[in-house]
Amino acid sequence: MYLDTAILVKLFVPEPDSDYFGKLTDGQALSSSALAYTELFSGLLQKERAGGINADQRRLAWRTFQWNVDEETILMLPLSQAVLKKANHILESCHPQVPLRSLDALHLASCDQLQDWPLCTSDRRMRAAAVFLRYPLVEVPGT
C-alpha cells in the first residue's frame, strides 16, 4: 500500500481519522516517496506552530517515522530521473482535466514505479488523477 504524506502524518500524530488509517495500514506492506522525508518534517513543524502538538511530540513522531523507515516497515522510494520523468508524463496526461500539483505528481509517479497498490490518499486532486489514470485507490471516508 502506497501512502502519501498526509496519510503518514495521520499515523504519527493524532488526527480525527488517525485510528481509521492505523487500522487500515496495520500489518500491510507500506511505501512512500523519499520526498515524504521533507514533507512530513514540514507537516510536523506546522502542527507544532498551530499548537496541535508540542516540540516533544514532534520529535517523538519524527523519531518513530525514522525508526519505521530504518526498519523498512515503510519502504521509501528515492527520487530518480525515472520518477521525475514519469511525474511529468502524469502531469501532461492529466492536463487539463485534473489540475495536479508537482508534489502530487511525484507521489503518483513513485507509486506507479513501485507498483505498490492501492494508493492511499485523502487528497482530492491526487484521487481524481488516480481515477483518471486508473490507479487502484483505498476507499477513504469523506472523499
Domains of the chain, by residue range, sit at: 2-133
| DSSP of 96-112 | TTS---HHHHHHHHHHH
* CA pair distance 140, 2, nearest whole angstrom: 14
| Fold designation for 2-133 | Rossmann fold (3.40.50)
| Each residue's pLDDT expressed in tens, for the chain with a length of 143 residues | 999 999 999 999 999 999 999 999 999 999 999 999 999 999 999 999 999 999 999 999 999 999 999 999 999 999 999 999 999 999 999 999 999 999 999 999 999 999 999 999 999 999 999 999 999 999 988 77
| Cβ-contact 5, 32 below 8 angstroms | yes
Q: Which phi and psi (to 5°) does residue 119 adopt?
A: -80, 130
pTM over 0.85: yes
Q: What pLDDT was estimated at residue 42?
A: 98
